[in-house]
Structure 1
Amino acid sequence: MFTSHDGLCSIGELAESAGVTVKAVRFYSDNGLLPEASRSVGGHRRYGPDAVGRLRLLRSLRTLGLPVREVRRVLGEEEDAAGSVLEGAVAGQLRELGSQLTALRWREAGLRLVLECPPEERADRLRLVGAVATPPNTGALARFWRAWLPPRMPARATAAFLEVAVPQPPDDPEPAQVLAFARLYALVTRPCTGAERPQPEAHHGSGARASAALYAGLAQAYELAGTQLRRGAGPRPGEELDSFVDAYASAYGSRDTPAFRRLLAGQLAADPRIDRYWELTADVITAPGSPPEPTPGSAHDWLFTALDEQTAAATG
C-alpha cells in the first residue's frame, strides 16, 4: 500500500488511504491517539502500515459520538478488556443521546404549546415554559414534599413516598403535558407562607416511626383504591377503606372502631388539601384523550369519600 522505501507514509498519504482529512489525522496524532512511526529529515510526520487500520477504528469510534477520553480508554485497553470498555462507553453515549432526544422533544412540545395558543396567552405560557429546564428536572417537586412531610421521617419512608408523589415527566410529551408540568413547577416554587401550606393533623402524631408506618399504610391503601379508580368504581366500604383507616389507627395507637372512623372523617375534612398539585400531576402523567391515571391525591379523595359516606350513613 505504501510505496516508500522504508514502508512508511506521509500524513497526506495516510489521510487519503483511510478516507479522512489531513486535519483529522493531525488532530488524532496531537491527542496521542495515532502514534507516529518517525519524522522525516524535514520534520514531517511518518506513519507505519498499521496506522490505516487504527485510523479507521478512530473514525468509527468518533462517528458513534464517543468523546476523545472514551476513545483513548478503548484504545488503551488490552484486546480482551477493550470489548467491555467499548460496551460501557457506547451504553453511556446512548444514555446521553436519550437525554438529548428527550430535551428536544420537550422543546418541540413547548414551541407547539406557544404557537398553538391564543395570542393573548402567549406571554404567560412563555413565562411558564421558560422557567422549566429541558429535559425537566423534578428536584423542585421533591423539595416541596420534603418540606411538607413529617419532620425526621426515615429516609427510606420518605424516598418511598416521593416515588409515588413526584410524577416522572414523559419522554415524548404532548403540549398539554408540558403546560401541566410547567404549572406544577410554578406551583411548588412560588413563595408561600406557612399558613398557605399547613401540615395535616396526622403530621403531629407520635414521632418519626409512627409517621413512617402511616405513610407505608397509606401507600398500600392508595394502591388498592387506584385499582378501583382504573375500573371506574365509585367510593365504597371494603378492603381499600379498611386499609386506609388501619393506617391512621396504627399511627395513633388506636383501634378501628365506629367512633374512631367518625373522628377520623371529621379530622380529614378539616385537614389542608393540595388538590391543585394532584390535578396537575394527573395531567402530566396522563396522555391527552386517555382516562386519568390515579394519583395519591385522587386515591385519597376516593377513600375519604367512602369513609365520609359510611360514617354519615351510620349516624343518619
Structure 2
Amino acid sequence: MWSIGELAEHAGVTVKTVRFYSDRGLLPEATRSSGGHRRYGPEALDRLRLIRSLRTLDLPVPDVGRILDREDTMEDVIAGQLRELGSQLAALRWREAALQLLQDCAPEDRVDRLRLVGAVSAPPSTAALARFWRGWLPARLPARVVSAVVDQAVPQPPADPTPAQVLAFARLHAFVSGPCPGGDRGQPAAHRAEEGYRPAVLYDGLSEAYALASTQMRARRAPGDGEALDCFVSAYALSRGTRDTPAFRRRLSGQLAADPRIDHYWDLTAEVTGSSRPTPGAAHDWLRAALDAQVAPDGPGVPASRRAHQAQAV
C-alpha cells in the first residue's frame, strides 16, 4: 500500500492532483490507515496514468469518469471531442477571416463592415436564412417539399472562408433579417392561393428542372430548347391543371417577367459558395431566358417533340 504522497511521487504528479481525482471518485483508494490516511494499491498508478493521458487530450473530467466506469466507450468520447474541436476550429477560421476583412478594408468602410460581421455568430448559423425561406414559401406545403427547397436555397458557410465570403454571408444574413421592401416577401403569382395553383406540384417539378438546367449551365450551354425547359414549363402547367401549349408558354413568359425577384439573395449566395454549381436562382434565370427566346416573335417556337405530344393530347 502507498500513501497519497508515495503514489504522487511514483506518478510524477502533485499530492493535490491525486487528491483531486480521488475526491471525484476517479481514483478510488484501496483502504485507509489506522490514522485515517488514504492508501493506494499498485493498480492505482496505472489508473492515474490513464487519467492523465485522457486529460492531456483535454477530455473533461466527467467524460474521463464515464470511460473509466465503461459507461461510454473511448471511441464515442473521442468522436464527440472531435466534433466539438471541429466546431471550435471553424469558429476560429471564421473569426480570422472576419478580422482580416476588417483589417484590409478602407477606414471609412470599417464601421459598416463591423456592424455586418458582428451580427453573425462564429461559426455562422443558417437559421435566419432557413426562416426566410419558410416564410417566403406558400403556406401548407408538405414538409418534405419545404425541406428540399430550404436545402437547395440555403448555402452552407465554407469551412475555411475568405474575407470576401465572410462579407457576402454577413450581407446575406442582413438581407434576410431586415424588413422586406414594400412590407412583403415578394412572392410570385404561383404562391397566391386564389389563383388556383398547386404549389407542391410546382416545386416538385422545379427541383427537377433546376437540376437539368444546372447540367446545361456547367457545360456552358446557352439557354435554349430541351428537356430542362420542357420540365420547367410542365411544372407550371401541372400546378395549374392545364396543358403545355404555345399559348400557355407565352402567358407563362409574361407572368414570370412580372414576378418579384430576389436576385440580390442569389448573387450573395454565389459569392458565399464560391463554386461552379449554379444556384437555383441562376437556374431559374437560365430557364426563363430559354422560355423568353422560344416565345419571342422570331423565336424557334415549341419543339417538334412537344408539338407531337400536344397533337396526341388533343
Task: Give the TM-score taking structure 1 as reference length.
Answer: 0.90
Deviations 1:46-103 (A, max 9, x none): 21110000011111122222222222221112xxxx7x72111110110000000000
Unaligned runs of 5+ in 1: 1-7
Q: Which residue of 1 aligns with 2:287?
A: 303
2:139 is paired with a residue whose SS is coil
Aligned match for 1:178, one of 160, 166, 170: 166
- Contact residue 178 and residue 284 of structure 1 kept, 8 A: yes
Alignment pair present for 1:204 and 2:192: yes
* 1:31 counterpart letter in structure 2: R
The one-character-per-residue Cα deviations of 1:134-182 (angstroms, maximum 9, x if unpaired) are 0100000000000000101111110011111000011110110000000
Same amino acid, percent of matched pairs = 65
Supply the AA of the counterpart residue of 1:222: Y
Provide Cα deviations, 1:246-281, integer angstroms capped at 9, x if missing partner: 111111111111011001100000001010000000
2:13 equivalent to 1:29: no
What SS class does the counterpart of residue 170 from structure 1 fall into?
coil
Q: What is the match of residue 217 of structure 1?
A: 205
Q: Which amino acid aligns with 1:30?
A: D
Counterpart of 2:2 in structure 1 is 9
Please tell me whether residue 267 in structure 1 is matched to residue 260 in structure 2: no
Partner of 1:45: 38
User: Which structure 2 segments of 5+ residues have no match?
Assistant: 301-314
Alpha-carbon distance in structure 1 between the residues aligned to 2:164 and 2:46: 51
Q: CA deviation at 1:191?
A: 2.3
State the alpha-carbon separation in 2 of the partners of residues 302 and 19 from structure 1.
70
Please state whether the residue corresponding to 2:73 is helix, strand or coil. helix
CA gap 1:105/1:96 in 2 versus in 1, 3 angstroms? same
Q: Report how far residue 40 of structure 1 moved.
A: 3.1
Q: CA deviation at 1:315?
A: 7.0
* Counterparts of 1:314 and 1:24, CA distance in 2: 86
Q: What is the CA–CA distance in structure 2 between the aligned matches of 1:221 and 1:189, rounded to whole Å?
A: 29
Once residues 281 and 44 of structure 2 are traced to their aligned partners in structure 1, the CA distance between those partners, rounded to angstroms, is: 64
8 Å contact kept, 1:205–1:251: no
Question: What CA distance in whole angstroms lies between the structure 1 residues aligned with 2:95 and 2:251?
Answer: 49
CA RMSD after TM alignment: 2.0
Alpha carbons of 1:37 and 1:116: their partners in 2 closer, same or farther (altered >3 Å)?
same
Structure 2 residue aligned with 1:103: 91
Question: Aligned pair in 2 of structure 1 residues 249, 209: CA closer, same or farther (>3 Å)?
Answer: closer
> Structure 2 counterpart of 1:76, which letter?
D
Cα distance change of structure 1 residues 304 and 213 upon mapping to structure 2, 3 Å threshold: same
Moved more, 110-119 or 204-213: 204-213
The offset of 1:213, in angstroms, is 1.9
Moved more, 203-212 or 58-67: 203-212
Question: Which residue is equivalent to 2:52?
Answer: 59
Aligned with residue 119 of structure 1, among 97, 107, 127: 107
- Letter in structure 1 aligned against 2:291: L
Equivalent position of 2:66 in the other structure: 73
**Counterpart residue identity of residue 62, structure 1:** R
Corresponding residue for 1:18? Answer: 11
What SS is found at the alignment partner of 2:39?
Answer: strand
CA distance in 2, matches of 1:65, 1:208: 60
Runs (4+) of structure 1 moved beyond 6 Å? 206-209
Q: Aligned pair count?
A: 300
Distance 1:259 1:314, change over 3 A: farther
TM-score (norm 2): 0.90
Give the letter for the 2:284 counterpart: H
